[in-house]
């Protein structure tokens, strides 16, 4: 895992170096500037009193949530003991397992993030981003 994280950081640094070599005003594709194509990176997330994300640090960049976050739910973990075949999933109580929201980075880039709970209230797993 540590090797994979070092590889991501090295890739991100090389990408930023290439971006710095671009002519001023030349647009660099977002996927070359951030680690968005690399799933499962942790983010530090700040939230309001209700638990909704407000801002985050992800891939070494600051992001501010710019829309109303949507809860991602899944059947309660204990439900599988009651319904092991999953035939009554429509009856299962749901629990919040993550959030989907739009956020804007400090340089104006906007993305939609899907984040999942890691068990640490401030650290979340970024499972997918959309440009």
Query: Over the stretch 64-120, which tens digit does the pLDDT of each residue have?
Result: 999 999 999 999 989 989 999 989 988 999 999 999 999 999 999 999 999 999 988
Chain-wide mean pLDDT for the chain? 77
Q: How many domains are there within the chain?
A: 1
pLDDT at 122: 80
The whole-model pTM stands at 0.65
Please indicate, yes or no, if residue 15 is contained in any of the structural domains.
Answer: no
Please indicate, yes or no, if residue 9 is contained in any of the structural domains.
Answer: no
Q: Which domain holds residue 91?
A: 39-130
Q: How does pLDDT run across 5-30, given as a tens digit for each residue?
A: 343 344 444 434 443 443 333 333 33
CA distance to 4, 8, 13, 14, 104, per residue, from 1 (Å): 5, 11, 18, 20, 28
Distance CA 3, CA 59 (A): 16
Please indicate, yes or no, if residue 32 is contained in any of the structural domains.
Answer: no
Please indicate, yes or no, if residue 24 is contained in any of the structural domains.
Answer: no
Please indicate, yes or no, if residue 17 is contained in any of the structural domains.
Answer: no
pLDDT at 36: 44
Please indicate, yes or no, if residue 108 is contained in any of the structural domains.
Answer: yes
- For 85, the token pair is 């075949």
């Amino acid at each position: 895992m540590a090797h994979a994280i070092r590889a991501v950081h090295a890739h991100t640094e090389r990408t930023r170096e290439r971006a710095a070599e671009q002519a001023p005003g030349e647009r660099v594709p977002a996927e070359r500037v951030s680690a968005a194509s690399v799933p499962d990176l942790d983010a530090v997330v700040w939230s309001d009193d209700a638990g909704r994300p407000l801002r985050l640090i992800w891939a070494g960049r600051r992001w501010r949530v710019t829309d109303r976050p949507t809860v991602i739910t899944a059947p309660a973990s204990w439900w599988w003991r009651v319904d092991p075949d999953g035939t009554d999933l429509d009856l299962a109580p749901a629990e919040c397992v993550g959030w989907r929201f739009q956020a804007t980075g400090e340089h104006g880039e906007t993305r939609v993030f899907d984040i999942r709970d890691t068990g640490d209230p401030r650290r979340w797993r970024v499972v997918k981003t959309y440009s």
